[in-house]
Structure formats: C-alpha cells, structure tokens
Amino acid sequence: MSERSERHGLVQWHSTTIIGVKRGETTVIAGDGQVSMGNTVMKPNARKVRRIGKDNAVVAGFAGATADAFTLFERLEKKLEQYSGQLLRASVELTKDWRTDKYLRNLEALMIVADKDNLLVLTGNGDVLEPDGGIAAIGSGGNYALAAARALVDYEDDPEQIARKAMAVAADVCVFTNGNVTLETV
C-alpha cells in the first residue's frame, strides 16, 4: 500500500492521506481509499481508517505498509485491553515496543489514533505526538491536507467538514490520494 523514500534520514510515505481533526468534543479521522503500487492504482476503495478497542471507542488511521499497519492495530488493541482503554498510556507503551522490539522496529507505518479525549500521531521512532491546534495529517498528501485544514479552522467549526474539505484538496493535488474517503468520528 505504500512506497517509502528516504532523503537525508527523513522518511516520506507515499500512497495515502490520513487526517485527524479535533474540535471541541468531537474528533474525526479520515483517510482516502487509494492503494498504489508504483504509478499504478491497484485499488480505489481500501479502508485505512477503522475503529478498534473495546466498544470501538478508538479510531485509528494508517499510512504505510498494509501488513505492518494491521500488526500495529492488533498490538494497539492488546495495549488498550492491558491498560483499560487508556489510549494515551496504550500508545506510549506501543511506541516503546515499536522502537525497541527487533521485529516491530522494522514495521513501516505511521498512525493517527483518537478517542474522546485524545488525538495522537504514533511513529516507529517512539514518538507519541499530540498535534498543535487539534489537526494532524500523515502520508504523501498529509501536508496538503494539513495546510488546507489549518486554513479552514478559522471559517469552519465542524471537524467533519474540515476533514472532508482537506481530503478533497489533498486528492486534487497528490497523485497517491483519491476522493474515496472513509471517515470515523469519536
């Protein structure tokens, strides 16, 4: 599902856009559905955003290799069980494992996760980042979606509308992103 390129030690993921928008008591995570292999679209309607955890109280979206993302979803679900649904604690413990475990540190993905209280970006470097201004985006179209969402927050209060409009901008600009959007709200 992804292509990865490194330039000066920085990893850039291709083939997807995931955005998280938190406004007030509502958080939305949205992702496109395009699966690309090189310059070929293999599938237009993949679900890169899903609900996990007890009572589906957590929403997670991924950019990166599909198998790696599913492994991380499963690991995060186990951590959520272990820490009684506490997303922040489960995320910290997952990223510790992700950074130090010989198998997990080879996984190539980024995640945006959210529950009713938190919006977080998780990385294999051990980072658990709470985005500034309640907006986070990852993937090849992430910077386009992030810029669009930041511009919209002054004019739009509804996080779903912000996410949808930001995804539309990313789909118009990024060739690895399409307009088939999956959106989940917590």
Are 177 and 61 a contacting pair, CB within 8 Å? no
Identify the CATH homologous superfamily for domain 4-185. Aminohydrolase, N-terminal nucleophile (Ntn) domain (3.60.20.10)
pLDDT of residue 103: 85
124-178 pLDDT, tens per residue?
888 999 999 999 999 999 999 999 999 999 999 999 999 999 999 999 999 999 9
Q: Enumerate the active-site residues.
A: 16
Domain ranges of the chain: 4-185
Which residue ranges of the chain lie beneath pLDDT 70?
A: 1-14
At residue 169, the 3 state secondary structure works out as helix
Q: Looking at the chain, which runs of residues are DSSP E strands?
A: 4-7, 10-13, 17-23, 26-31, 35-37, 40-43, 49-52, 58-64, 109-114, 119-122, 128-129, 135-139, 182-185
